[in-house]
Amino acid sequence: MEAVVLDITGKDTGRKVSLNDAIYAIEPNDHAVYLDVKQYLANQRQGTHKSKERAEITGSTRKIKKQKGTGTARAGSIKSPVFRGGGRAFGPRPRSYSFKLNKKLKTLARKSAFTIKAKEEAIVVLENFNFEAPKTSAYSKMIGDLGLNGKKTLLVVADTNKNVYLSSRNLQRTQVVIASELSTYKILNSGTVLLTEGAVEKIENILS
């Protein structure tokens, strides 16, 4: 599978890059994708939710009324969950939502995500580039020249590129990640995936 290499103005450079069929043309595994996306979203949860239970409520510990003869249910504490202002029964406690996935499954999920994007013709390969200085207008112009204005884009670069990252940071619907930090969720959550030539090589090394 081959892809045309474009420059940042959207023009054909006359070069082509080979996209490995073992990454961009497999049979997508929907369940692997589901699990990897589920793990990513679970890891975003802080898990700091907490409600007070009856032992943590401030209030008197005296018995509210006598045990028998009232005609109503027994009541031993004002802090009981059945009373207004009492503690909550089985309320949320701080916890971690993270869970483990095997590396092979995560690799399969990312390959499946790339295949889905390739089938949608939503992968664009760019030549390696850099900006002289961080400039939002430069990144915005690049997106416009590529005909992607208003679309959700994910730019994948081979290594950390501070100028490109800072140039994209103030723009909505754009994201820049390095190849080693790429996730299934980020691939699928974007409308178009932009890969630099260096990133294509790096992704192949990581997923092969």
Do 136 and 179 lie in one domain? The reply is: yes
pLDDT mean values, one per 10 residues, the chain (208 residues)? 89 90 94 97 95 93 92 93 93 95 96 95 93 93 91 93 92 93 95 93 91
pLDDT value for 208: 84
What is the pTM (predicted TM-score) of this model? 0.83
Do 34 and 106 lie in one domain? The reply is: yes
Do 66 and 39 lie in one domain? The reply is: no
**Total number of domains constituting the chain:** 2
| Local structure of 42: helix, strand or coil | helix
| Alpha-carbon gap, residue 98 to 14, rounded angstroms | 46
pLDDT value for 42: 96
Do 61 and 102 lie in one domain? The reply is: no
Do 84 and 109 lie in one domain? The reply is: no
Pick from 60, 91, 122: which residue ends a domain? Answer: 91
Residue-number span of the structural domain to which 169 is assigned: 2-46+98-207
Do 61 and 160 lie in one domain? The reply is: no
Encoded tokens for 99: 């869970």
Torsional sign, CA 16, 21, 27, 32: negative
